[in-house]
Amino acid sequence: MAASCGRACSSASRLAVSKQARLRVLALLALGGVVGLDLWTKSVAEQRWSTPVDLFWKVRFAYTVNSGAAFSTFQGAGRWLLIAAAAIVMVLLVVLWRTRRYAIALPLALLTGGAIGNALGRAMRSDHGVVDFIDPHLWPVFNVADAAITVGCVWLGLNLVFKPRSDHGH
């Protein structure tokens, strides 16, 4: 019995590891995609959108720097926000690494990627501000990282409230 369980258990263990590995790779790709897109768009905003560019309706690209937090709160606290963001990112990375469910890992990857993008953006600027450039006029100016954080939080919240039945990662 032990020998047959050894093979079966070993096979099941490999299957579980491969699912976990796929989940981690997908999460890291999503996280890296958010960080890369965020940093690239912030760079483009700094180089090209000092003069606002109208897109449609009242939405435009307009380069701004936010030295505070969301909705321009905590102005001038960029250094402290960077330290707080680094601590939050470390916690998010640990939680992301440990999760076994796609329904949790993917929104966490967006959230973590957005947090890393904004933290790196702060770290690269001497004023520790964050470049924002998407100006919908009816809402504060934001960036790709902010959008990823928002989508990740909403998606994670919906998944936690409604607990999806099927999850490819189980």
Residues with catalytic function: 132, 146
Token pair of 145, please?
């990282």
Q: Give Dmax over CA atoms of the chain in angstroms.
A: 74
Strand partners for 60: 54, 135
Q: DSSP 3-state helix, strand, coil percentages of the chain (rounded to 5)?
A: 65, 10, 25
**Using alpha carbons only, what angle is made at residue 155 by residues 150 and 156, rounded to the nearest 5 degrees?**
100
What three-state secondary structure class fits 105?
helix
Q: For the stretch 71-91, what's the b/e string if a residue is b when 16 or more beta carbons lie within 10 angstroms of its beta carbon?
A: eeeeeeebeebbeebeeebee
